[in-house]
Amino acid sequence: MIRIILILAAISSLFITVFAVAIYGLDVDNTATRAFNKSFPVLPAAIVGGRVVFISEVEDRLEMYDHAVSSQSALARYDPAAVRHQILDNLIEQEIIAGVFRVAGSTGFHPSFDEYADHILSGFEKTPQEALGISEREFLENIVYPDFQERTLRVIFLSGSRDSSEYAKAQTIKAELDGGQDFTEAVRLYSEDEDSKYLGGDLGFFSREMVSPWLADAAFNLSASSTSDILVSPEGYHILRLASRDPGPPERVQLQHIFIRGPDFEKYMEKQRKNYRVYIFASSHFPSP
């Protein structure tokens, strides 16, 4: 019995070695190698701070991309090598963000993942299966959760930047509003949201799941014509005003806001990336565009 197990292990090792040589050494990319990576997700595309990004993960996301493109137009064309490169870059960035997220503090308010997932799914006209060819569980685990980590990390960064000039600007605006400044005039003078700036900051009507979960509690707890404290979302700093309320069902609120961009998150991430060693394998499979 042990001998049979050893023989099978040797055959498996040889099988994997053959495909590893084909992929890494000979740059083979065909139906056979793609089927191998899908069936045996053991070959790394990259290692990021000791964590492995597998070639199979890249190929899975390429399939999602292909499904999304094909569902838009049967005539659409794209360069698979360039898309693979971008996908690998994104997966590497996700691993770095996940690593920073694990050690970051919990500054600021954070919704649960379930709240964020409901918010994302509420904006989809198609199911994940229709849009990307994957189940809702796969969509939540592989697409939505990494996005949730990044957006939560942005809020942690912005919440910890209260000594910034951007936050000081938001404080000044809030003080002027508390002193009687007209909200619409303050929007015109200060808001950095160009889409709503000349509409009095009007964002329209929203049900609860449509509002960013970082802002939803504050938005739905406002009384008529009242303004919120300075709120932090992944995008920056907000001061909300409740313009009107529709009791529904479902309950909806009409919101106005003054928006101030936060400090540069990308500069923060540039410093964080220096703490992570990144090794890329089969680089010829992921050429720079």
The reply to whether 194 falls in a domain is yes
Q: What would the DSSP string read from start to end of 4-71?
A: HHHHHHHHHHHHHHHHHIIIIIS---SHHHHHHHHHSTT-EEEEETTEEEEHHHHHHHHHHHHHHHHH
**DSSP SS3 for 205:** strand
User: Which domain, by its residues, includes 17?
Assistant: 1-40
**Does residue 24 belong to any structural domain of this protein?**
yes
CA angle centred on 159, ends 154 and 164, rounded to 5° = 105
* pLDDT given for residue 33 in this prediction: 56
Residue 56 lies in a domain: no
Q: Does residue 210 form part of some domain?
A: yes
Residue 106: pLDDT band with limits 50, 70, 90? low
Q: Is residue 268 part of a domain?
A: no
275-289 pLDDT tens trace:
999 998 866 565 554
Residue 32 in any domain: the answer is yes
Q: What is the percent of the chain with per-residue pLDDT over 70, rounded to a whole number?
A: 81
CB 162 within 8 A of CB 170: no
pLDDT, one tens digit per residue, over 147-200 is 999 999 999 999 999 999 999 999 999 999 999 999 999 999 999 999 999 999
- pLDDT digit string (tens) for 19-58? 445 455 545 565 665 665 565 566 888 899 989 998 889 8
- Within a domain: residue 247? yes
Q: In which element (H, E) is residue 259 found?
A: strand 252-261
Residue 199 lies in a domain: yes
Q: Please give the tally of structural domains in the chain.
A: 2
Cα separation, 241 vs 229, in Å, equals 10
Give tens-digit pLDDT for 59-78. Answer: 899 999 999 888 877 777 88
Here the CATH number for the domain that contains residue 258 is 3.10.50.40
Tell me whether strands 51-54 and 278-280 are parallel, antiparallel or unpaired.
unpaired
pTM of the model: 0.84
Does pLDDT of 10 surpass 70?
Answer: no
